[in-house]
Amino acid sequence: MIDGGPFVRRLYFVIMLFVIAGALPMVTGCGRVRLRPLRQPVPEFTSPIAPVGRYNLQASEVVTVLKQRQRNLRTIRANLNLVLGGREAARQRFDVSMFVQQPNRLRLRGTQEQGTVFDVLINRNDVQAVVYPERRYYRGTLDQLRRNPQVTAGIDPELFFDVLSMEQLLLSRHAAYRQLPMRRDLRHYEVRFDYSNGTSEVFRLRQQDLLIDRYERFMGRNLTAGVTFTGYQLADGHLVPTGFIVDVPAAGGQFGASVVEARPNAPAPETVYDLRVPEGFVERPISQ
């Protein structure tokens, strides 16, 4: 069993979880998000890269292949379409623009036909969110989110920063713990890290190309978060998901995102860390 100290901090995991678990309760006026399944099948996706050419690899061979195709990802700009599974299977859709920069800097803006719905800024430990339908401005810290798990549907806010670079996350675990606990089935390799604090992480890689099509986190036997990847693309040499579906068991459902455009290592826009609060908006603590 691996030592249960803090997980290695990586940049991109479940970025959009902040929208569903943090901003959406503010938009709807609820203290806790309640979702429903999206009820859509996940198709087998076509690989944008050449097959590995061999099956039944050893763990060390898997690590070698992943390292060979890595690129240094410092920033990413992306546009996404976000679909939320709503109450009684209703859905909400958002167009989301996103910029992420290492370490722990994130800007998200969500719009619908009527205009901007939310604008979120995470800058190191500082968290700000403007929610337009409520005319409210929320401010707090990532530490406050950790101490108030109901705000984030029970998900550790450290996980907001890794979904667009899942291979780097897996390699960081290997580098930290010097092992890759792996088993095989007919189509996949499954890598599982069990930690002494009772949590676990599971990465599922397709044997044919070593692309990760499923990631899960557990507390004991209970699933706390899961991501199913629905496709990948090559953007300037970087493997970037074209879509993913996130399971949020504490919120009772799922949300899905399709990546419309992705620009790895794009320069930061001049105003990306300047969140303007409209006049007359009421300020509230983000931990409420």
CATH number, residue 74: 2.50.20.10
pLDDT at 288: 58
- Judge whether 50 lies within some domain: no
- Judge whether 182 lies within some domain: yes
- Judge whether 4 lies within some domain: no
The SS3 assignment for 169 reads helix
Amino acid at 280: G
Q: Is the pLDDT of residue 157 over 60?
A: no
- Judge whether 105 lies within some domain: yes
* Global pTM value: 0.79
Please tell me whether the peptide bond between 41 and the residue prior to it is cis, using omega within 30 degrees of 0. no
pLDDT at 91: 65
The SS3 assignment for 271 reads coil
Percent of the chain with pLDDT over 90: 33
Domain of 248 in residue numbering reads as: 17-38+56-267
More confident position, 73 or 188: 188
Residue 271, token pair as written in the block: 């105003």
- Judge whether 49 lies within some domain: no
Number of domains in the chain: 1
pLDDT at 166: 87
More confident position, 260 or 85: 260
- Judge whether 200 lies within some domain: yes
Which of the 8 DSSP states describes residue 2?
B
Distance, CA of 98 to CA of 101 (rounded, Å):
10
- Judge whether 171 lies within some domain: yes
- Judge whether 282 lies within some domain: no
